[in-house]
Structure 1
Amino acid sequence: MSNQQSSAPIQENKMGIMPIGKLVFNMSLPMMVSMMVQALYNIVDSIFVAKLSENALTAVSLAFPLQTLLIAVATGTGVGMNALLSKSLGEKDFKKANKTATNAAFIYAVSYIIFLILGFTVVKPFYRSQVGSADAEIMTMGVDYLSTVMIFSFGIFTQVFFERLLTSTGRTIFSMTSQLSGAVTNIILDPILIFGMFGAPKMGVTGAAVATVIGQCVAGLVAGTCNHKFNHEVRFQFKGFKPDFKIIGTIYAVGIPSIIMQSIGSVMTYCMNRILIEFSSTATAVFGVYFKLQSFFFMPVFGLNNGITPIIAYNYGARQRKRMVKTIKVSLATAFCLTFIGFVLFESIPQALLGLFNASDDMLKIGVPALRTIGVHYLIAWFCIIAGTVFQALGKAVFSMVVSIMRQLVVLVPAAYLLAKFGGLHMVWWSFPIAEVMSFIVSLTFLIKIWNDIIKDIPEGRE
């Protein structure tokens, strides 16, 4: 069987011919909608948990570092697969695209096995390192929640793999469908399993984890079905399969920097939890609430990223500079509008945002100035996020990794520690805007280098 012939599309992929403005929104809007729903169910998840107690909210918040690491491995691997697969399609190398998808499936299977083992071994030590023996209730609830999420993480690995495969070939509407199905399932099951409605057992915080896992499995099933029925540009080749370490290496050349970049968020969150819990568990809960809220404004931008990554990679492979540049410009303008909304809301109605999480007077006292201070960084973050996407799409994901390391580990965590030590809790939150300024400077420097080294030498091509 000749894969290059049998898998070739009858006409050129839309990423090479559709007008850029229309293409960006055609590719990204479904992803942005689905990511907003993802963010919504993350918020709803914590709203229900907060109704149990503030300790329950704190227990779930303390799970963020390892949950972030889990998501980082899944989505970061997808970034590497996306970039190589879309570039191969742009070059009309369909055999390589097929091999990329097959090897990526192997990578995702191995990744799940690793997190299955971690779910049985590291969760208790992880929680003990944050809360010690001071609060047994937080410890117990947190271990139950995080163990469930990690042991049954096959759902999220399946979901992300098939969704990114659909995105790589421009079928973002099906990726949106799968994410929506998972999110709706989670939202419906949350109150049922947490509070024991309709005859279901009252599972508390563990119920939130079970609802999350079931939602991920449903999304993975839907994404796999859509890929089988509608994605005919890529075929799996499992018969006689042997890992192609050259392709795996290429996937990880882009994917590992992305994984590290997102995993750094795990380290940052862990360090911030350690800094804030020295003040109070309420301060840690405020930090957790901030993460839930900011996801509602950042997730659409990440959805935009998912949509434009294959467009830039495809047209890089097809040597179409005008289409690449216009994609970047449109995405920058869109990202600014999205994050500006977050800035306005954080500055104007922080009390209402915190009130969603059943905030106590003490939580409002800490949280209102915290949200207003952190909200300043929305005015800069949009540029840094899109610049990072450009680096990844052009195979320079190491630039994104460097920016992320400098922002979160070199600047944010040390700044938070020093501000906590010498300025008190109210000063800690300024570490976020300070780190974002540094991120902007470094991102702009790298983007100029990308232009000089890669983009400007590409033929202009059609627009």
Structure 2
Amino acid sequence: MSDTFMKEKPIFPLLTSMALPMVFSMLVNALYNIVDSLFVARISEDAMTALSLIFPMQNLVNAIAIGFGVGINAQIALHLGAGSRDRADTAATHGLVYSLLHGAIITITCIAIAPHFLSMFTQDTSVIQMGTTYATIAFSFSTVVMAALAFEKMYQAIGRMKITMIGLLAGSLCNILLDPVLIFGLGPFPQMGIAGAALATGIGQMLTLSVYLIFYHRISTPVRIRRRFLRPNPKMDWQLYAIGIPAILNLALPSILISFLNSLLAAFSQSYVVVLGIYYKLQTFLYLPSSGIVQGMRPLIGYNYGAGESKRVRRIYQLTLLLCAGILAVGTVLCVLLSDGLIGLFTTNAETIAIGQTALQIISIGFIISAVSVATSGALEGLGMGVQSLVISLVRYCVVIMPLAWLLCRIMGPTGVWHAFWLTEVVAAVISVVVYKKSVKLS
């Protein structure tokens, strides 16, 4: 299949055809995250606390995998748009090699520091033990995660969204099916508790990678991993990391934020820490589908920018913004009307449910306006402007929200943390518009 359809096909059907497979797969991925947490919550509230505390580390690993994958994606799309197939192949080849190296380093580092990281937030030995068990198993699959994301972004860069959809669906559904089997020991399988949840996740990730490899060897694609492009190429490596590092930081910043907010909320009650963890699980149902729209947009905006199609670039960005806002509007309604029921899925503790209901209703005020920063950040990454995208994320996750949460927490108590979310989204939206207009010069 020729890749020129990305600059020839009408924009709305093109964007939806690229985005919908990713939205669907992201929804299933979000469902897996929810189901995983639901089963862990059935073990005990300590298990849910352990999962909430280890989440920032998991998010950091995913940030490195996805963020560097964004660099791979952008370089492939830009070079294909400019008609340079060899450079696109070089980007794919070097991207995979470095992804495997990242995975090996992360496995060793994260397993070593997990117990110390957990002890920063709790002295409960049961929570630390369960968190360490989960981390040891989950992070053992880091190399698999990195390789899978490298292939995923390669397929997305050439418009093969259905392949990534199949891979993500296979892994997520496998995880959902294995969770109760391995956690509770159904049939011939032993009861593994929280270790079973981690193992189910790892097996699902292996299945996703296997699907990508099968497709790679069975079908013809315009971009290939080639041995002859393994030779050193400092310019290409710099370009991959110049986009990948800001994208990694974009995705890693929530880990820093969550850890910071956990330290604020833990001073009041463990219930607040649990609610924050539940919120970040629930919001995946909104932001992962929005991410699916952005993933469909990135190769299109990069390809058309590389091909000099300014009008199409502008229209792709506008449609992405509109679609993301629609998804987040639905989320706002659900969180306002069903907040107690959503929190009640994860806990029967009346205090935790009451805290969570308040949190969801306040935080959701900023959902729709956050579409501006989500779409803009993704567009800048697709255009190879990783540093500009990072500026937006720094505002959302550090520069504004952290000092604001600290201040409001002292004025309003823990409820002030929830208000810091929507106030930050307003500031981030304004800055996003300014950064985009100054960075993207279209004729």
Give the Å deviation of 1:240: 7.5
Q: CA deviation at 1:416?
A: 1.4
Q: 1: distance between equivalents of 2:150 and 2:318? A: 28
The code of the aligned residue for 2:343 comes to: L
Distance, in Å, in 2 between the alignment partners of 1:51 and 1:116 is 28
1:362 paired to 2:351: yes
CA shift for structure 1 position 242: 2.3
The amino acid that maps onto 2:14 is L
One-letter amino acid of the counterpart of residue 437, structure 1? V
Distance 1:249 1:231 in 2: 28
Q: Deviations over 1:262-291 (max 9, x none)?
A: 111111111111111111111101000000
User: Are the aligned partners of 1:182 and 1:217 in contact in 2 as well (CA < 8 Å)?
Assistant: yes
Match of residue 455 from structure 1: 442
Distance 1:12 1:372 in 2: 44
Alignment match, 1:101? 92
2:101 is the counterpart of 1:114: no
AA at the equivalent of 2:209? G
Partners of 1:240 and 1:84 lie apart in 2 by 15
Aligned to 1:422: 411
Q: Report what 2:144 is aligned to.
A: 155
Give 5+ residue unaligned stretches, structure 2: none
How many residues end up aligned between the 2 structures?
Answer: 443
AA matched with 1:36: L
Q: Unaligned regions of 5+ residues in structure 1, if any?
A: 1-8, 457-463
Are the aligned partners of 2:73 and 2:153 in contact in 1 as well (CA < 8 Å)? yes
Whether 1:190 and 2:179 are equivalent positions in the alignment is: yes
Structure 1 residue 155: Cα displacement: 2.1
CA distance in 1: counterparts of 2:8 and 2:307, whole angstroms: 11
1:328 is aligned, of 292, 310, 317, to: 317
Partners in 1 of 2:229 and 2:437 — Cα distance?
45
Code of the residue aligned with 1:428 in structure 2: it is: V
For residues 171-229 of structure 1, give each alpha carbon's deviation from its aligned partner in whole angstroms, at most 9, with x where no partner exists: 00010000000000000000011111112111111111110011001001101212332
Matches of 1:427 and 1:310 in 2, distance apart? 39
Aligned twin of 2:434: 445
Q: CA deviation at 1:254?
A: 0.8
- The separation in 1 between residues aligned to 2:149 and 2:218, in whole angstroms, is 17
* Other-structure match for 2:215: 226
Quick one: structure 1 residues 241 and 395, their matched pair in 2 at CA, closer, same or farther if it must change by over 3 Å?
closer
Task: Tell me the CA shift for residue 322 of structure 1.
Answer: 1.6
- Which residue, 312, 316, 326 being the options, matches 1:337? 326
Q: Distance in 1 between matches of 2:110 and 2:75?
A: 31
Corresponding position of 1:71: 62
Letter in 2 for 1:74: A
Counterpart Cα distance in 2 of 1:182 and 1:12: 27
Please point out which of 13, 18, 23 is paired with 1:22.
13
Cα offset, 1:339, TM superposition: 0.3
- The DSSP-based 3-state class of the residue aligned with 1:170 is coil
- 1:13 and 2:18 are equivalent in the alignment: no
- Cα distance in 1 for residues equivalent to 2:111 and 2:436: 42
Counterpart contact for 1:163–1:175, Cα < 8 Å: yes
**Of the candidates 291, 298, 303, which is equivalent to residue 302 of structure 1?**
291
Q: Give the match's secondary structure for 1:234.
A: coil
Q: Residue 41 of structure 1 corresponds to which residue in structure 2?
A: 32
User: Does 412-421 or 316-325 show the bigger shift?
Assistant: 412-421
Deviation digits for residues 95-132 of structure 1 (CA, Å, limit 9, x no counterpart): 1111111100111011011111113311111111111x
8 Å contact kept, 2:347–2:353: no
Partners in 2 of 1:357 and 1:419 — Cα distance? 27
Residue 460 of structure 1 corresponds to none
Aligned to 1:4: none
The residue that corresponds to 2:167 in the other structure is 178
2:341 match: 352
Contact in 1 for aligned 2:243/2:381 (Cα 8 Å): yes
Tell me the distance in 2 between the aligned counterparts of 1:393 and 1:185. 31
Q: Name the counterpart of 1:125.
A: 116
Q: Aligned with 1:379: secondary structure?
A: coil
Q: Give the drift of 1:13.
A: 2.5
Which aligned segments of 4 or more residues in structure 1 are displaced greater than 4 angstroms? Answer: none
| 1:166/1:231 contact within 8 Å kept | no
1:53 aligns with 2:40: no
Q: Is the 8 A contact 1:54 1:282 kept in 2?
A: no
- Inter-partner Cα distance in structure 2 for 1:240 and 1:282: 53
What is the CA–CA distance in structure 1 between the aligned matches of 2:76 and 2:404, rounded to whole Å? Answer: 40
**Range with bigger deviation, 152-161 or 249-258:** 152-161
Contact in 2 for aligned 1:155/1:214 (Cα 8 Å)? no
User: What's the CA shift string for 1:293-335, capped at 9, x where partnerless?
Assistant: 0000110110111111000000011111121111112111111
Alpha-carbon distance in structure 2 between the residues aligned to 1:240 and 1:267: 36
Moved more, 18-27 or 392-401: 392-401
Superposition deviation, residue 410 in structure 1? 1.5
1:164 matched to which residue of 2? 153
Alpha-carbon displacement from aligned partner over 1:4-54 (angstroms, at most 9, x marks no partner): xxxxx6x55221211111110111110110011101100000011111111
CA RMSD of aligned residues (A): 1.3
For residues 312 and 439 of structure 2, what CA distance do their matches in structure 1 show? 16
* Aligned with residue 250 of structure 1, among 232, 239, 257: 239
Where 2:367 maps in the other structure, the secondary structure is: helix
Equivalent AA in structure 1 for residue 226 of structure 2:
Q
Report deviation, 1:379. Answer: 2.0
Cα distance in structure 2, aligned partners of 1:234 and 1:222: 17
Q: TM-score, structure 2 length as denominator?
A: 0.98
Identity %: 35
Where in structure 2 are the equivalents of 1:406-417 lying within 5 Å? 406-417=395-406
- For residues 304 and 364 of structure 1, the distance between their equivalents in structure 2, rounded to whole angstroms, comes to 32
Equivalent pair of 1:106/1:243 in contact (CA under 8 Å): no
